[in-house]
Amino acid sequence: MNRFFLILTLGVALVISGCTGLGTLSRASQPNDLYALTPKSTFSGNLPRIRSQIVVEEPTATAAVNTDQIAVLPSPLEVQYMPRARWVDRAPLIVQALLIESFENTGKVPAVGRSTVGLRADYVIVTDIREFQAEVTTDEEGNESLLVNVRLNIKIIDEYEDHIIASSSFEKVRLSASEDALDLATAFDSALGSAMRDAVEWSIRRIYSHGG
């Protein structure tokens, strides 16, 4: 079974040692490429319209995810990063911005934004990024591939009554077409987009049923 080991030295230099699989991970000395993700713009036609204003807080995440580096897990206990590839911002800030834009794209919410803009919220969306990484998988023939796993835990807080009205998790996985960074980013975009669509639709319906 092919295995690779990626060592992050002092948070700056990435050095590959003993790499026999996923050849892209060995090219650590070249300049970084930056990758962006996209919001959702298509939603269910029967999504109700709400009257409430929403604030989306910056998601929480573990230190392994709260970075602009693209996390890869060669095993469940190892966290490593793709060389030569980074997100355009820290993952929680990307998810926050894309959730806000996705809520806006529904056309069903009168106002949505960050708490820092001074928006007086009726409901607050609190997100915990539970999974946001690619995982190395091996098939029966010993061939390695990258499986992207995105899982968002969403809580909706009634700002006036100061309590959680609903909580749920949304998880999606996508197989990367190759170990190439662009293919990996494409898989992330698909998984995150699908999870956000479900989370946004669920949030709007729960707020609507709560009287929003």
Give the predicted TM-score (pTM) of the model.
Answer: 0.83
Residue 170, domain member (yes or no): yes
Residue 84, domain member (yes or no): yes
- In sequence order, what are the beta bridge partners of 171? 151
Residue 9, domain member (yes or no): no
Mean pLDDT by 10 residues, the chain (212 residues): 36 35 53 93 94 96 96 93 95 98 96 81 96 92 92 96 95 96 97 98 96 77
Rounded to whole angstroms, how far apart are CA atoms 182 and 178? 9
Residue 158, domain member (yes or no): yes
Domain that holds residue 194: 34-209
* Chain centre to alpha carbon of residue 115: 20
pLDDT in tens, 34-78: 999 999 999 999 999 999 999 999 999 999 999 999 999 999 899
**How many domains are contained in the chain?**
1
By CB neighbour count within 10 A (0-12 exposed, 13-18 middle, 19+ buried), where does 203 fall?
buried
Residue 11, domain member (yes or no): no
The predicted structure's pLDDT at residue 22: 57
Residue 24, domain member (yes or no): no
Residue 22, domain member (yes or no): no
The predicted structure's pLDDT at residue 163: 92
Rounded to whole angstroms, how far apart are CA atoms 71 and 23? 16
Rounded to whole angstroms, how far apart are CA atoms 103 and 37? 16
CATH assignment at residue 89: 3.40.50.10610
Residue 148, domain member (yes or no): yes
